C-alpha cells in the first residue's frame, strides 16, 4: 500500500504511476505543536526586530521556482502601488533552486526596499515571526500538503494561498484562495484582507477550527489503519 498526505496527492500518484486508488491511503500531516498565538508584547518586539515596527505579510519556506515567490513579489508591488500602506513583505527561508526570475522581479520592483529576507529561522524565531504577522502569503504552484498555512492557522493568523493542488483541500474555506499564476488576483486578495477587519477576524476563527482537524494523533491513527489493511491483505 501507499500512504500519502492528501487526496490531491493520492489522485496524482494514481494517475502518474497507473495505480488503483484503492491501494492508496490518505494520511494527513499536521503542524508542530509549538505553533500557537503569541502575546501583543512579543508581536511588538518581533516587528521592531524584523520590520522596523511595521506590519508585515509573511512567506515561509524555501525560496525556489515551485514556491512562486516571483508572483508573490509582483503581487505585493501591485498592492503597494495602489494602496497607501506601511505593510512590508517578509520572506523567511533559505535560497533554493531556480531563482533567476525571482531575482529579476526583485530588481524591477518599485517597492524593493520594503521586501525583507530573513534567511532560515530557528523554530523559536519562526513561531514569533508567524504569530506576529498580519497574514501568511503562501501562493505556491504545487503542494502535496502545504504546512505553512496550517502553522498560520494555529498561530491565529489569516492566510492567502493557492487555488491549485492540495491547498483548497487542506484549508477548506479557512483561507483566501488566489490563482498562483495571476499576480493581480493575489494582490486583490491581499487588499481584501487589508481593507476588512471583519474578513480577517472571520478567517482567523475559521482557521482555528480547521487547524484543530489536523493532529499528530490523527496522523498516527490513519497510518496505523493503512498498515492494518496491508497486514490483512498479506495473510
Condensed to tens digits (0 to 9), the pLDDT of residues 92-138 reads: 998 877 788 888 888 899 999 999 999 999 999 999 999 999 999 99
153-210 pLDDT, tens per residue?
999 999 999 999 999 999 999 999 999 999 999 999 999 999 999 999 999 999 999 9
124 in the Ramachandran plot: left (φ > 0), alpha (ψ -120 to 50) or beta? alpha
pLDDT over 80 (residue 235): no
- CA–CA distances in Å: residue 162 to residues 7, 80, 93, 209: 16, 21, 19, 20
CA 49 to CA 64: how far, in whole Å? 25
pLDDT 10s digits, 22-67: 999 999 999 999 999 999 999 999 999 999 999 999 999 999 889 9
Q: What is the spatial distance between Cα 76 and Cα 89, in angstroms, rounded to a whole number?
A: 7
The values of phi and psi at residue 221, to 5°, are: -65, -45
**What pTM was estimated for this model as a whole?**
0.93
Q: Output the CA–CA distances (angstroms, integers) from residue 147 to 43, 45, 143, in the order listed.
A: 22, 25, 9
Alpha carbons within 13 angstroms on the beta-carbon side of residue 20 total: 3
Amino acid at each position: 500500500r501507499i500512504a500519502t498526505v492528501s487526496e490531491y496527492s493520492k489522485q496524482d500518484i494514481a494517475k502518474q504511476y497507473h495505480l488503483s486508488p484503492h491501494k492508496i491511503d490518505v494520511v494527513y500531516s499536521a503542524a508542530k505543536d509549538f505553533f500557537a498565538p503569541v502575546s501583543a508584547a512579543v508581536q511588538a518586539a518581533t516587528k521592531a526586530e524584523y520590520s522596523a515596527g511595521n506590519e508585515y505579510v509573511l512567506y515561509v519556506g524555501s525560496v525556489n521556482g515551485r514556491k512562486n515567490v516571483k508572483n508573490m513579489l509582483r503581487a505585493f508591488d501591485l498592492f503597494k502601488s495602489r494602496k497607501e500602506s506601511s505593510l512590508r513583505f517578509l520572506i523567511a527561508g533559505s535560497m533554493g533552486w531556480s531563482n533567476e526570475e525571482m531575482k529579476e522581479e526583485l530588481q524591477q520592483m518599485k517597492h524593493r526596499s520594503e521586501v525583507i529576507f530573513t534567511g532560515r529561522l530557528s523554530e523559536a524565531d519562526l513561531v514569533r515571526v508567524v504569530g506576529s504577522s498580519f497574514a501568511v502569503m503562501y501562493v505556491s504552484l504545487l503542494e502535496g500538503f502545504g504546512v505553512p498555512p496550517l502553522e498560520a492557522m494555529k498561530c491565529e493568523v489569516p492566510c492567502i494561498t493557492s487555488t491549485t493542488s492540495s491547498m483548497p483541500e487542506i484549508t477548506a474555506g479557512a483561507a483566501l484562495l488566489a490563482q498562483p499564476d495571476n499576480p493581480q488576483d493575489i494582490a486583490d486578495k491581499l487588499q481584501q484582507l487589508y481593507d476588512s477587519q471583519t474578513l480577517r477576524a472571520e478567517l482567523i476563527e475559521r482557521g482555528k477550527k480547521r487547524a484543530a482537524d489536523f493532529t499528530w494523533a490523527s496522523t498516527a491513527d490513519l497510518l496505523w489503519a493503512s498498515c492494518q489493511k496491508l497486514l490483512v491483505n498479506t495473510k
